[in-house]
Amino acid sequence: MLRINMASLYTEQGKNVRRTWMLMTMFLVLIIAIGYAVAWYLQNPSILYIAVAFSLFMNVAAYWFSDKIALASTGAKEADPNEYRELHRILENLAITAGLPKPRVYVINDPAPNAFAAGRNKEHAVVAVTTGLLSRLERAELEGVLAHELSHIGNKDILVMTVAVVLAGFIAIISDIFLRMSFFGGNRENRNPLLAIAAIVAIIIAPIAAQLIQLAVSRRREFLADATGALLTRYPDGLASALQKISSYEAPMRRANHATAHLFISNPFGAHEAGKFIAKIFSTHPPVEERVTALVGMRV
């Protein structure tokens, strides 16, 4: 059974702020390490300076524009207040109950039911839902999902999630570029072959390390958002039922990708992919069965 109180909630919120800075620092160190390896391999110190400059720029971009990048990557469009009047109304009522500003609302044209929240803080937060979610869920279930996303905002962990999206993708790109560069130029005669191999291996391993850091954005935040969302609606069964419906949908989202997967309330690759052994190991979400069991056992 998942137990939560206000003291533990505030503790977790403070931890999430610290995790954000730790995450950004680790990505900065990774990029500098890649730059150093390539600069040594090509015997061109300016590459290290470029890597540092890029890493600082991407940290700033990830902080200020993470919500826009996440929305663009999923094809989300702002929800028209007239066409999606009920969605706006439910979210506004929940935001008032939670003591949060109403986030901007977006809709993703996709039959797969899912949703996510993004943004650097509660004043610049967005909530996006798919058309499949709106068509498949009952009102109480939709309230549970929206309360879960608002809880991510209130718990201050949306920045951790969205920063991970930007920086993990950037490391994968820059590693690929540097790997290609490493095959050209430089004075190879003066290099120790073993150290050269180590430099190449470091460049190849960097994206894997970035992925592991992204996965290290704890699964516990999903349990925490489930619990605080259930407290918000006072109806855990609504969210539990929604999670069962979402996780049972077989097909993946049209624009599902591993960079943004951890943003969503449930695995965006569909029930078939999520059930695979390897997918479970590298999943950014805890098993739905465990989440449902925790919610059903809650007393609110």
Quick one: pLDDT band at residue 105, thresholds 50, 70, 90? very high
d(CA 53, CA 21): 18
Give me the residue spans of the domains in the chain: 6-64+163-215, 73-158+218-296
Per residue in 255-281, pLDDT tens?
887 767 778 999 898 866 555 545 555
CATH of region 73-158+218-296, choose from 3.50.50.60, 3.30.2010.10, 3.40.640.10, 3.90.1580.10: 3.30.2010.10
Per residue in 7-22, pLDDT tens?
455 565 566 667 667 7
Q: How far is CA 54 from CA 37, 73, 195, in A?
A: 16, 21, 25
Residues carrying an active site annotation: 149
DSSP 127: E
> 285 and 267 in contact (C-beta within 8 Å)?
yes
pTM for the complete prediction? Answer: 0.75
Contacts of 69 (CB under 8 A, 6+ apart): 61, 62, 162, 165, 166
Report the pLDDT value the prediction gives residue 42, as an integer from 0 to 100. Answer: 73
> 250 and 268 in contact (C-beta within 8 Å)?
no
| pLDDT at residue 185 greater than cutoff 60 | no
Report the pLDDT value the prediction gives residue 235, as an integer from 0 to 100. Answer: 94
Residue 14 sits at the vertex; the CA angle it makes with 64 and 212, to the nearest 5 degrees, is: 65
d(CA 139, CA 142): 5
Report the pLDDT value the prediction gives residue 146, as an integer from 0 to 100. Answer: 98
